[in-house]
Amino acid sequence: MKHLGVVFFILPILIFGAVHQVDMVGLTFVPDTLSISEGDSVLWVNASALFHTTTSGTDGVPNGYWDSGLMSPNDSFVFHFDSAGVFPYFCTPHWTLGMIGLVTVAPVGIDEVQAVEPAEISLALAYPNPFTRTVRLDYSVNVGGRLEVTIYDSAGETVRRLVDADLAVGRHTVLWDGVDDLGRRAGSGVYYIGAHINGTSVQEKVLLLR
């Protein structure tokens, strides 16, 4: 018992950096995309009247990183991210309804450097969202540079590269017609529009309904 008591008091000091909260609201993770630093933790809180899970993986298939199990209303679950990477996750009962999320973990030091730099790109909300044929994304570029705008699926795979060009400062608009790089119609599901310029990245989630 003494050994367990020592571990209980030491563990929070050893494993927890910053703690970022994600609320389960209705059939949505809020926020559904999160950027954190290596060594941080994410706390999921079920703020709805439904039963949810936070389960790492894609398309309803767990990959074994974490699984909260079924969470009752007001339950919470925390996971510590000790390595950098991109970690998609979903709610087991509701992922087919679009209840998925993404945690991007940067190596130690990356977030701190970016935090003191002015924002180089900002996104407006995608419209319409959900969409059936075409979605529009407005964005502002605050510095000149090489801009890439790419569509990713929920597994992080590239679906369509929409923009790869040098752009001037100002507002721009890009449209996606739900077609991949090979001209095939993408299936129904959640996709991410990622914009990258001069090492800065922003992301917007959209839902395609066929």
Residues 144 and 72 in one domain: no
pLDDT of residue 16: 43
CATH classification of the domain holding 143:
2.60.40.4070
Would residue 7 count as lying in a domain? Answer: no
Q: In which element (H, E) is residue 29 found?
A: strand 28-30
Judged against a pLDDT cut of 70, whether residue 6 lies above it is answered with: no
Higher pLDDT, 200 or 85: 85
Judged against a pLDDT cut of 90, whether residue 177 lies above it is answered with: yes
pLDDT of residue 39: 85
Residues 100 and 154 in one domain: no
The domain boundary residue, chosen from 113, 146, 178: 113
Q: In which element (H, E) is residue 168 found?
A: none
The pLDDT tens digits for 94-145 are: 999 999 999 988 887 433 434 334 456 666 667 888 889 998 887 777 777 7
The domain boundary residue, chosen from 113, 130, 158: 113
Residues 98 and 131 in one domain: no
Structural domain containing residue 154? 117-208
Judged against a pLDDT cut of 70, whether residue 27 lies above it is answered with: yes
- Residue 168 has, within 13 A of its CA and on its CB side, a CA count of 1
The reply to whether the predicted model has a pTM over 0.75 is no
pLDDT of residue 196: 81
Residues 158 and 182 in one domain: yes
Judged against a pLDDT cut of 70, whether residue 153 lies above it is answered with: yes
The pLDDT tens digits for 33-92 are: 999 888 888 999 999 999 999 999 988 999 999 999 999 999 999 999 888 888 999 999
Residues 99 and 139 in one domain: no
Higher pLDDT, 200 or 186: 186
Lowest mean pLDDT among 7-16, 34-43, 117-126, 180-189: 7-16
Residues 109 and 122 in one domain: no
Would residue 5 count as lying in a domain? Answer: no
Q: What are the residues whose beta carbons fall under 8 Å from the beta carbon of 151, sequence distance 6 or more? A: 158, 159, 160, 161, 162, 176, 180, 186, 191, 192, 193, 194
CATH classification of the domain holding 100:
2.60.40.420
Residues 25 and 97 in one domain: yes
Residues 76 and 127 in one domain: no
pLDDT of residue 120: 63
The pLDDT tens digits for 157-168 are: 899 999 888 877
The structural domain count of the chain equals: 2
Would residue 2 count as lying in a domain? Answer: no
Higher pLDDT, 8 or 83: 83
Residues 121 and 107 in one domain: no
Question: What is the arrangement of strands in the sheet containing 41-46, beginning at the earlier edge strand?
Answer: 28-30, 19-25, 41-46, 76-80
